[in-house]
Structure 1
Amino acid sequence: MNNNIIYELTPIEFRLDLKDPFLFTAHHIDHFPAGNAQLGPVSPAQNHEYNMYYGETVPGFPEHPHTGFETITLVEQGFVDHFDSLGNGGRYAAGDVQWLSTGNGVEHCEMFPLIHQDKSNPFELFQIWFNSSAEQKKQDAAYKMMWREQIPHVFETDQESRKSDIRVISGHYKETEAISRPPHSWAADSRNKVNIYLLTLEPYAELTIPATSPTSSRFAYFYQGNTLKIEDQTVQHKYLAELKPDAEIHLKAGGLEARILWLEGEPIDEPVAMRGPFVLNSAQELDDAFRRYRATHFGEWPWDSPAPVFKREQPRFASYEGGQRKEFPESEL
């Protein structure tokens, strides 16, 4: 596919391969059953039945390291329990976003407790792997919670009174600014034009996304609905479109509600060397980072398990500064 607006269309099963400053995005979906007393599945299950079941009891990803990039985790359904080697922890859920800058190294775990015992626990999230500049890779790791109550929404109505909802995760949409990003993020500087939106269009709703700079990377992932028109091209759901950045893009939903992950940003334009969970600028830097990890584990793991979880009744919260400071969304106070 190559035309004036859509450069390429790619069918997606799980992983979205992207371009600088984005590395890739994983679209995780699991249909977990009701939970048991240990927050695992109530019915016996083999791990291979699910995409994200690497723990022994609770689904998720036990203790593992990262360095040199950022993970931006957007939860659509379910709960996530976060623990890291900085001594921080937290629980977040549908509509929340966690932005983790891994910097010069951190270990963390992401567990998916099955909170509901009387019904199924559907789970869905996006995790965007977002690169860092060489200087940002040297900074200490840090993370920020963006609660659903705080994330800005822009509501637009087309000529037929059909509505669109634009959740502004990063950057800005027209005059609406997102919550600030971690300070040592490529996305923190407005000159880098890192705009991340979650778009929801009512059936047949029309929406026009403003142009960005001609040098930006730009992608739209149509992940829910039946069809979506991008300009005059009809796109099926679960397709990724690489788009012309310096043009307004007209969208029109089909007969079902349409949901789209929208990503755009200026490239970092530095070499990328990636090996597993480490992203640096050269093979030598990767070798050095793996030696440093084997020697230090990026700090002492302060938790009593590689896959800890909070109690079922724990409300959403985040802890920072080694657990010295806690933050709760307004609805949990």
Structure 2
Amino acid sequence: MAAIQKITRLQMQWDTQDPFLFCAFHNDNFPKGNGKLGPVDSLTGRNIGQDFTQKDGWAMYHGSKVPGFPAHPHVGFETITIAERGFVDHSDSLGASGRFGKGDVQWMTAGKGVQHSEMFPLVNTEKENPLLLFQIWLNLPAKSKSVAPYFGMMWHENIPVVSKEDSNGNNIKVKLVAGSFDGQKALNPAPDSWAANPDNGINIWLISLEPNAEFIVPKGIDGANRSLYFYEGDAIAAEGFDIPPMHQIKADVNELLRLKNGSSPAQLLLLEGKPIGEPVVKHGPFVGNSRQDIEKAFSNFQETQFGGWPWSTNEHTHAPETERFAIYPDGKKEEL
């Protein structure tokens, strides 16, 4: 059987396979900051509150003064947010908050319900504020959809990166957000995650290839789904196909997948895992197994607000000079 099953062009929201729900990709060339975490450039001509047009190479999204996503609820799945460039200011209904970036990863289990905000603070006033971010939605099985919410941080200093050379001495790096590669294991995922059971074969890798590097993606666990997302570079060759950037490769985990990079550094994201294999019903930020699950989630949110919003604004941010940190629901604080 051929290693490659399908090649498709990527949009802003990337198509995924079970157990993943989708992946949002943000690659914004934000301008200098105005000292208040917003852009120094004028917002004239933007549909504030619903700005997704990428005018001048960036968007405000749902933010009014600072780009990002003000307070909103989630139910029934997990978000894994990888901030490779730029920063995210997090606040939630558990009382947790933080600022992360520079390659950090936030792992949040929504479970029975949580509210959070994700703002993109433009902390630099003397230079531009580029953002490169992935938010991966990983489903929860029915038995775990009503677990307590969880908030956790993986600081980039602690995330394993496997460095190798191909036969010609070209460098390859594999950053392990979840799973394992070449004998190295990733940090522990959230405790109630589908990824917490190694038998489910969840792998989330960021793959960096030097020009002309050759890399063989090893076989995965039988029955798993595999997708690679080529998001930065000029071209890669894969099993006889020449693939331009911003394309997805759906591949067979039972076959080796041979990649040869082109003349520029390349970056890929790999998402892999055994499917949960249950019905999926989505309505905005709520995910269930049935329409009744969604109706129950709406009712619970209307009644409880998932604990309420403890912050003074739905677009809560932290002081411009604040370094990376996290405050957990139990009050524990980490500062980087």
Q: What code does the residue aligned with 1:325 have?
A: K
Shift of 1:214: 2.7
Name the residue aligned to 1:14: 12
Shift of 1:52: 4.3
Written as runs of structure 1 = structure 2, the 5 A alignment for 1:288-307 is 288-307=296-315
Q: Aligned equivalents of 1:144 and 1:243: distance in 2?
A: 30
Name the residue aligned to 1:236: 244
Q: What code does the residue aligned with 1:92 have?
A: F
User: Match for 2:334 among 313, 327, 333?
Assistant: 327
Q: Aligned equivalents of 1:258 and 1:53: distance in 2?
A: 27
The answer as to 2:203 corresponding to 1:205 is no
- Cα deviation digits, residues 244-284 of structure 1 (max 9, x gap): 11111111100101100011001111111111000110001
Name the residue aligned to 2:286: 278
Written as runs of structure 1 = structure 2, the 5 A alignment for 1:41-56 is 41-45=39-43, 46=46, 47=48, 48=51, 49=55, 50-56=58-64
Contact map agreement 2:236 2:259 (CA 8 A) in 1:
yes
Name the residue aligned to 1:263: 271
Evaluate the alpha carbon distance shift between residue 250 and residue 52 of structure 1 in structure 2; reply closer, same or farther with a 3 A threshold: farther
The answer as to 2:75 corresponding to 1:71 is no
Q: Aligned equivalents of 2:195 and 2:93: distance in 1?
A: 24
Name the residue aligned to 1:37: 35
* Runs (5+) with no aligned partner, structure 2: none
Contact map agreement 1:28 1:52 (CA 8 A) in 2:
no
Name the SS of the counterpart of 1:297 in structure 2: helix
Shift of 1:136: 1.3
User: Match for 1:165 among 159, 173, 184?
Assistant: 173
Q: Aligned equivalents of 2:35 and 2:207: distance in 1?
A: 36
Q: Aligned equivalents of 1:52 and 1:241: distance in 2?
A: 30
Shift of 1:189: 0.8
The answer as to 2:70 corresponding to 1:62 is yes
Q: Aligned equivalents of 2:245 and 2:61: distance in 1?
A: 26
Under a length normalisation based on structure 2, what TM-score does the superposition of the two structures give? Answer: 0.95
Aligned residues: 326
Name the residue aligned to 1:85: 93
Q: Aligned equivalents of 2:162 and 2:288: distance in 1?
A: 36
The answer as to 2:188 corresponding to 1:188 is no
Shift of 1:37: 2.2
Q: What code does the residue aligned with 2:72 have?
A: H
Name the residue aligned to 1:124: 132
Give the aligned CA root-mean-square deviation in angstroms.
1.1
Name the SS of the counterpart of 1:135 in structure 2: helix
Q: What code does the residue aligned with 2:327 have?
A: S
Name the residue aligned to 1:227: 235
Q: Aligned equivalents of 1:176 and 1:110: distance in 2?
A: 31
* Runs (5+) with no aligned partner, structure 1: none
Name the residue aligned to 1:215: 223
